[in-house]
Homo-oligomer: A and B are copies of this chain.
Amino acid sequence: MARFFIAGTNLLNGPRVIIRGRDAEHVQVLRIRPGEDVTICDTQGTDYKCRLVRADKEEAEFEVVEVVPCRGEPSVEVTVLCGLPKGDRVDYIIQKSVEAGAHGIVFFQSARSIAKPDDPYKKLERWNRISEEAAKQSGRGIIPRVSWAPDYGEVLNTAVHHDLALFMYETGEREPLNTVLEANRSAGSVSILTGPEGGFEPFEADLARIAGLHICSMGERILRCETAPVVAVTAVMYATGNLS
């Protein structure tokens, strides 16, 4: 069933939901007719099963038929903190992390980031649109927020404000990811740090260790920078019973 979010100019008005702008156009594109149903999510974890009353290019009006908790939300809040990679790898990381169940995604300029955007904040609108599309497609109950961290200190500060903070590293002394997750199955929030194409500089790992993050190994296979986040999020979802 088609899925929309009560966000932007869309609004819930008593027993009615009004969808506007790009979403209203989407209703037309999907040829949804009056009397047909869609799911409209309040981005707070609640789904409204709604029936189309009327629609034009600017606006579509639905009546609420049923209110149910959104089942697409995992019980654990996972934040992906990712050293900025090149080009479309960013889009890919956003889309796949949202599908896999991430609650938020933060990009930052890490020491080996090749991409050096003049103004990363300009990209946030587009990045968040990718997140919204992926959230619709995958039936999420929220729109995971994509944001930018100006420096590594803020990245580490964000990371440690989770019940469990993980730093994915390819070398040196590390804890096996499954051991760390088995010991923290009840964590309500988890942060995952992954690097850009060239991985992390040793000093970045050292600082993470000092800050109290778990330096984790995901096995002997080398994962591309755009693959590591979805693999790590999936491991957390599996360990916390959110992949069943």
Cα(A224)–Cα(B242), bound, Å? 17
Q: Which residues of B contact A139 (CB under 8 A)?
A: 220-222
Interface set, chain A 184-239, CB cutoff 8 A to B: 217-224, 227, 230-231, 234-235, 237-239
Does A161 make an interface contact (CB < 8 A)?
Answer: no
Does A177 make an interface contact (CB < 8 A)?
Answer: yes
Q: Which residues of B contact A28 (CB under 8 A)?
A: none
Per-residue interface assignment for chain A, residues 79 to 123, with 1 indicating a CB less than 8 Å from any chain B CB and 0 otherwise: 000000000000000001001110000000000000000000000
Does A150 make an interface contact (CB < 8 A)?
Answer: no
Size bracket, chain A contacts: 35 or more
Whether B222 lies near A137 (C-beta < 8 A) is yes
Does A147 make an interface contact (CB < 8 A)?
Answer: no
Q: Which residues of B contact A238 (CB under 8 A)?
A: 177-178, 234-235, 238-239
Q: Which residues of B contact A138 (CB under 8 A)?
A: 221-224
Q: Which residues of B contact A177 (CB under 8 A)?
A: 238, 243-244
Does A126 make an interface contact (CB < 8 A)?
Answer: no
Which of A72, A218, A222, A231 has the largest count of B CB atoms less than 10 A from its CB?
Answer: A231
Q: Which residues of B contact A72 (CB under 8 A)?
A: 220-222
Query: Smallest CB-CB separation from A139: which chain B residue?
Result: B222
Whether A219 lies near B237 (C-beta < 8 A) is yes
Q: Which residues of B contact A153 (CB under 8 A)?
A: none
Whether B221 lies near A244 (C-beta < 8 A) is no
Cα(A242)–Cα(B230), bound, Å? 16
Cα(A72)–Cα(B224), bound, Å? 14
- A242 and B219 in contact (CB under 8 A), knowing A99-B227, A100-B231, A227-B99? yes
Whether B101 lies near A219 (C-beta < 8 A) is yes
The 5 A-B residue pairs whose C-beta atoms are closest, nearest first, are: A176-B244, A71-B220, A234-B234, A178-B244, A138-B221
| Chain A contacts to B: CB under 8 angstroms | 71-72, 74, 96, 99-101, 137-140, 176-179, 217-224, 227, 230-231, 234-235, 237-239, 241-244
Q: 5 A-B contacts, Cβ less than 8 Å apart?
A: A99-B224, A137-B222, A139-B222, A179-B244, A234-B235
Known: A177-B243, A177-B244, A178-B244. 15 other contacts (CB 8 A): A71-B220, A74-B221, A99-B221, A99-B222, A99-B223, A100-B231, A101-B221, A138-B221, A140-B221, A230-B230, A230-B231, A234-B235, A234-B238, A235-B243, A238-B239
